[in-house]
Structure 1
Amino acid sequence: MSQPDTQSPKAADAKAKASSENDETLYAVRQKVYPRAVTGVFAKWRWILVWATQLIFYGLCWVPWNDRQAVLLDVVERKFYIFDWIFWPQDVFFLAILLIISAYSLFFFTAVAGRLWCGYACPQTVYTEIFMWIEEKIEGNRSQRMKLDEAPMSGRKFAIKAAKFGSWGLLSLWTGFTLVGYFTPIRELVHEALTFSFGPWELFWIFFYGGFTYLFAGVMREQVCKYMCPYARFQGVMFDPDTLVITYDPERGEPRGPRKKGIDLKVAGKGDCVDCGICVQVCPTGIDIRNGLQYECIGCAACIDACDQVMEKMDYPKGLIRYTTENAMKRHWGRKEIIGHMMRPRIIIYATVLVALCVALVWGLATRSTLRVDVLKDRSTLSREVEGGLIANVYNLQVMNMTEGPRRFALSVSGLDGVQISPKEPFEVDAAGLKSVTVEVAVPPESGKPGSNTVYIEVKALDDETVSVREKTSFLMPR
């Protein structure tokens, strides 16, 4: 039998309050980040990458090439068109190499200079940068945005918010539309949009990708980098004391504090940091870089641009916040020492493997044949006697023409004496087409031993003798 609860109401209230306080410490309510606009060297590089990546993404699907768009990933027909190349499912080898190159590139650049991908080229960073630019143009600068959010709802606030959200929505839908345009020819997609005749999957993916673009770049922003992206969690494993990271120099900056321009630092008893907080205001994830390296830092270097501007106004040397390494900070190395210690074993290994993979990819693409032949022996009849006492085997050939023009091919068989084939006439395969050809190979009984004999089936293009495939297969003789 359970004991009655003898706890007083006052004690129960205290316990509930303590429990509530404990719950609050386990969950931090999101504090909205209002990044301040910044200019400078690294900001220019970020915008260069924004323009470069988006011109490629939004523009490449509109480039005409051989009566089609330059890049078309035709999933239905299982053909990927990339300029003059046509890739089939059998070319998954190239995709594997490309993925490995991407992984090693990430390892290499992270080991050299931290989260360069996150800070400059990651789609989350790029689209957040675009969305924040739209927000600033419509709502104003940082202080104006903060005041607008604190103000009660009014007709003016509703109009401004509607303009911002509407602009975000249109950009997101256009992004989703462009993505689908790489799988469905973009001009067909435009026609479907004008006639409201989208297929169900096309409509789904336009809204799916557009919706997540809006959610990630417009609403969640830094939350994606801080809590959803796995790269933020394991990046520290790829850092070492000689990795370039964005660092605040505490020896030079501390003790921090405000002061007037021109005051002698020794007299004031201050470091170079004026504690203006601008480095925090410009950070897209809202962290204070002066607290040391943090996993939330995406390496965008906005704090470097902001701090350098403040140092310039105060007539102090730039570089209070800068790209440097842990060893360089401890040992007060200069640029030459930093560069010298960057050539360490792991960097050399990453670079060597990366170069080897790139060479292999280029060599594979350069020597890739435009003809592929698969030979399948007909299992229904292993061998049979035909007219003239000849022994015949039947083969099914899958011939792929990997060019964008129709081609005629001729067949020949070698390996046994007195070989006869049917059909003898050349056959044609459509542009970027696959054709199944049934071939009967017949030989005299005395030309081979009982059991399995090796023969070679060769398919050669009539317009270019260098384009040929010779496949090895078996010819069965009855015992």
Structure 2
Amino acid sequence: MNADSRKIDVRVVDGGGALYAKQPKVYPRETDGRFQRLRIAAVFWLLGMFYAFPWISIGGQQLVLFDLPARRFHVFGLTFWPQDFYLLTLLLVIAALSLFFFTALAGRLWCGYACPQTVWTEVFLWIERRIEGDRNARMRLDKDPWSRTKLLRKTAKHAAWVVFALWTGFTFVGFFTPIRELGAEVAQWRLGGWEAFWIVFYSFATWGNAGLLREQVCKYMCPYARFQSAMFDRDTLVISYDVARGEPRGHRSRAQLRSVGAAVSAPKALGDCIDCRACVQVCPTGIDIREGLQIDCIACAACIDACDDVMDKVGLARGLIRYTTENELAGSPRQILRPRVYAYAALLGALVAAFAWGVVARAPLIAEVLHDRNGLFRPLPGGAIENSYAVKLANKSDHAVALSLRPDTPLALHAIGNASVLLDPGEVFSLPLTLRADRGAVRGRNPITIVVVAADGRELARAKAQFFAPESP
């Protein structure tokens, strides 16, 4: 074989020499419409809860406070203890299943309207628009050489971002440290090390993600975009461009648009898309929805509002870009409610009901009985037998309660001394308890139950224990 015949022809396709292509900056244009107004309402609602909840009190207790040192969570007037963490697990399962349900129903609703990245980015964009101007003004400002005006605008923007980010970090830490105490510590310059660290860390994360990275977080860092396709099918509502109606796209004059309609409004038949690129200009991730469903689309529906506005101006029907399904675009009937959606809804309803029952039915008191380790039993003169216990009590309610202990057993046992206590809200107390059996009444190992009763006779809790006695007299 000739050596020349074994040569491989190699050509340089891209001689740029860069390992990663630089991503162009996205300048989303401000738009208005029904979906934009819905998104703004979601921003006000979600951020309102975030910034207001720590400052609201119920019965002297912060509305939402995750008190990690005391291992107690205060949420809407309820106090959750480590023993209630199964409810937290159930809540996380509900959140995951809700994500599956809404994704199967209408795509990335979470990303477009409720994701923290989306919500805070909306605020940072609003600040940027107020200081640097609209889309064209921001693009010109970035292209212009550095000047006094550019320096002032950039400095003012980042200063406003930093102030807002610091307030966000302060509020975040206020969910774990009583926010009024935290505010006093900040005002007096005596903030603890860990509190200062988390305020700065969360502030930096907010400034970096919502101010600098923006769409890069959604496109490259968020895992949801990668596995969402597993929850989509051809009947999932997604934001789509109607290719059959819009293509072939093309520019045309207003006179042509007013003449005989979209189908024959140009020298050659064109679709309804006038190729104005408004849908691309308003997209926060910089994609062109006309190229089909893409992993970068966060389903914010800004392109729908922009396209509908253009259609109104040129006298064409809305809906060139709309929420629809693949089957509907292909001419099949829309079927949003289908077995998968019903299954998710049924599971979600059952879990929500179980969570609600768990919250309502949870015991207001924790009782745990620990047998004295120094000896299983103690014989007394006359043949009586005593066992000693430490009953650990935790008042999970938000009011003081008077408690007393009594054994619930067919054995002839009676308590010695005062087995009662008054527990303050949230108090944990170890109450000593001594039980005595008369001579010959009990032998060997005997399971018993210690009952905790309130002053009005209501049974609040039960705890298992053992009463030990000699095997023979």
What TM-score does the superposition give when structure 1 sets the normalisation length? 0.92
- Is residue 2:402 matched to residue 1:404? no
Would you identify which runs of 4 or more consecutive aligned residues in structure 1 move more than 4 Å? Answer: none
Contact 2:395 2:427 (C-alpha < 8 Å) held by counterparts: yes
Q: Which amino acid aligns with 1:311?
A: M
Distance 1:306 1:85 in 2: 45
C-alpha change, 1:51 and 1:92, in structure 2 (3 Å) is same
Contact 1:416 1:443 (C-alpha < 8 Å) held by counterparts: no
User: In structure 1, what is the equivalent of residue 97 of structure 2?
Assistant: 104
TM alignment of 1:16-415, pairs within 5 A: 18=12, 21=15, 23-24=17-18, 27-261=20-254, 262-264=258-260, 265-266=263-264, 268=266, 269-331=269-331, 333=333, 338=334, 341-415=335-409
Q: Which amino acid aligns with 1:343?
A: L
Q: Deviations over 1:410-469 (max 9, x none)?
A: 11012143312233342122221111122121212432342x21211011121x433511
Distance 2:411 2:136 in 1: 89
Cα drift, residue 205 of structure 1: 0.4
Cα drift, residue 41 of structure 1: 0.4
Contact 2:382 2:439 (C-alpha < 8 Å) held by counterparts: no
Q: Deviations over 1:181-217 (max 9, x none)?
A: 1111111111111111100001000000010000000
Other structure's SS at 1:355 match: helix
C-alpha change, 1:155 and 1:22, in structure 2 (3 Å) is closer
Q: Which amino acid aligns with 2:25?
A: K
Distance 2:461 2:185 in 1: 42
Other structure's SS at 2:15 match: helix
Other structure's SS at 1:276 match: coil
User: In structure 2, what is the equivalent of residue 419 of structure 1?
Assistant: 413
Distance 2:265 2:86 in 1: 68
Cα drift, residue 406 of structure 1: 2.4
Distance 1:376 1:121 in 2: 48
Q: What RMSD over aligned residues (CA atoms) do the two structures have, in Å? A: 1.7
Cα drift, residue 349 of structure 1: 0.9
Deviation larger for 71-80 or 195-204: 71-80
C-alpha change, 1:36 and 1:387, in structure 2 (3 Å) is farther
Distance 1:78 1:51 in 2: 31
What percent of counterpart residues are identical? Answer: 47
Q: Aligned residue pairs: how many?
A: 456
Distance 2:310 2:88 in 1: 47
Cα drift, residue 376 of structure 1: 1.9
Contact 1:411 1:424 (C-alpha < 8 Å) held by counterparts: no
Distance 2:459 2:284 in 1: 55
Deviation larger for 229-238 or 441-450: 441-450
Contact 2:451 2:459 (C-alpha < 8 Å) held by counterparts: no
Other structure's SS at 2:150 match: helix
Q: Deviations over 1:287-312 (max 9, x none)?
A: 00000000000000000000000011
Distance 2:117 2:314 in 1: 35
Cα drift, residue 267 of structure 1: 5.0
C-alpha change, 1:144 and 1:267, in structure 2 (3 Å) is closer
Other structure's SS at 1:99 match: helix
Distance 1:465 1:27 in 2: 73
Q: Deviations over 1:247-295 (max 9, x none)?
A: 0000000000011231433252100000001100000000000000000
C-alpha change, 1:387 and 1:85, in structure 2 (3 Å) is farther
Q: Which amino acid aligns with 1:306?
A: A
Give unpaired runs (5+ residues) of structure 1. Answer: 1-13
Distance 1:360 1:67 in 2: 29
Other structure's SS at 2:70 match: coil
Q: Deviations over 1:112-161 (max 9, x none)?
A: 00000000000000000110011001100000000000001111111111
Cα drift, residue 23 of structure 1: 4.9
Cα drift, residue 21 of structure 1: 2.5
User: In structure 1, what is the equivalent of residue 6 of structure 2?
Assistant: none
Cα drift, residue 332 of structure 1: 5.0
C-alpha change, 1:423 and 1:87, in structure 2 (3 Å) is farther
User: In structure 2, what is the equivalent of residue 11 of structure 1?
Assistant: none
Cα drift, residue 164 of structure 1: 0.4
Residue among 452, 466, 473 paired with 2:458: 466
What TM-score does the superposition give when structure 2 sets the normalisation length? 0.93
Contact 2:380 2:386 (C-alpha < 8 Å) held by counterparts: yes
Distance 2:465 2:94 in 1: 35
Q: Which amino acid aligns with 2:463?
A: E
Other structure's SS at 1:59 match: helix
C-alpha change, 1:391 and 1:19, in structure 2 (3 Å) is farther
Other structure's SS at 1:61 match: helix
User: In structure 2, what is the equivalent of residue 9 of structure 1?
Assistant: none
Greater helix share, structure number: 1
Contact 1:377 1:395 (C-alpha < 8 Å) held by counterparts: yes
User: In structure 2, what is the equivalent of residue 3 of structure 1?
Assistant: none
Other structure's SS at 1:447 match: coil
Other structure's SS at 1:37 match: coil
C-alpha change, 1:75 and 1:280, in structure 2 (3 Å) is same
Deviation larger for 139-148 or 64-73: 64-73
Give unpaired runs (5+ residues) of structure 2. Answer: 1-8
Distance 1:253 1:263 in 2: 18
Distance 2:92 2:197 in 1: 27
Q: Which amino acid aligns with 1:49?
A: A
Contact 2:419 2:432 (C-alpha < 8 Å) held by counterparts: no
Deviation larger for 395-404 or 195-204: 395-404
Contact 2:239 2:321 (C-alpha < 8 Å) held by counterparts: yes
Q: Which amino acid aligns with 1:470?
A: R
